[in-house]
Amino acid sequence: MQSFNIVVYVFAAIIVASAALVAFSRNLVYSAFALLFTFFGVAGIYVMLSADFLAAVQLLIYVGGILVLIIFAVMLTHRISDVEISNQSLRPAQGALILIGIMAVLLGVIFKTQWSLEGQLEYQATTALIGDLLLKKYLLPFEIVSVLLLAALMGAAVIVRKEVRGEQSGGKS
């Protein structure tokens, strides 16, 4: 149990430190790479919460997909020369006020509520269980999400393609 606590604290420290770096770093590229460590830490927390399949999905989709997309977007849209200017914080004082306010409210709720700690999931391989649930209880959300993914794919392609065509015609005229 002692080692469990230590591992959870280590992952929590990684998450908080790298998320703070995402929030307060002046350099957008540093923020993007700090986000990598946040996602790794969250995957570790999933393992500690008996969600092994979810941890693998987190690594595959967040680190392998979303983060790579974000870094691509940073590199494509970002003039490295004016890193300092293009990532400056707007209204940091008001932002800090909101941060402290939200954290105070959330911590108050967390410590005031008596959570009913009924059953605990035991540590087991969850992949088969999740596959079973996806094809039985959660079949409708599963199908809807697959249609949504197709729509997002087509939408992204259409958005980017239209702009290129508009720019070409603008260049000719």
Partner 1 sequence: MVGLNHFLVLSAILFSLGVYVVVSRRNAVAILMGVELILNSASINFVAFSHYTTSSMGGQMFAIFVIVLAAAESVVALAIVLSIYQQFRTIDADEASTLRE
28: left (phi over 0), alpha (psi -120 to 50) or beta: alpha
Q: What track of x and - describes contact with partner 1 for positions 61 through 80 (by CB under 8 A)?
A: xx--xx--xx-xxx-xxx--
- How many Å apart are CA 44 and CA 9, to the nearest integer? 11
Q: What is the DSSP letter of 26?
A: S
By the 10 Å C-beta count (0-12 exposed, 13-18 middle, 19+ buried), 94 is classed as: exposed
Q: Which of residues 130-159 bind partner 1 (CB under 8 A)?
A: 130, 133-134, 138, 141, 145, 148-149, 151-153, 155-157, 159
Q: How far is the CB of 38 from partner 1 (least distance, A)?
A: 7
Euclidean distance between CA atoms 23 and 31, whole angstroms: 7
Helix or strand or coil: residue 78?
A: coil
Minimum distance of partner 1 from residue 80's CB (angstroms): 13
First-to-last alpha carbon distance for the chain, in angstroms, is 71
Q: Is 5 in the site for partner 1 (CB under 8 A)?
A: yes
User: Of the candidates 8, 37, 56, 63, which one interacts with partner 1 according to CB under 8 A?
Assistant: 8
**32: buried, middle or exposed (CB in 10 Å: 19+, 13-18, 0-12)?**
buried
For the segment 105-134, give every residue that binds partner 1 (CB under 8 A). Answer: 106-107, 110-111, 115-121, 126, 129-130, 133-134
Q: From the list 37, 56, 63, 87, which residue makes contact with partner 1 (rule: CB under 8 A)?
A: 87
Give the one residue of 10, 49, 125, 139 binding partner 1; rule: CB under 8 A: 49
User: In the set 99, 125, 135, 139, which binds partner 1 (CB under 8 A)?
Assistant: 99
Which of 88, 125, 135, 143 is close enough to bind partner 1 by CB under 8 A? 88
Q: Does 44 bind partner 1 (CB under 8 A)?
A: no
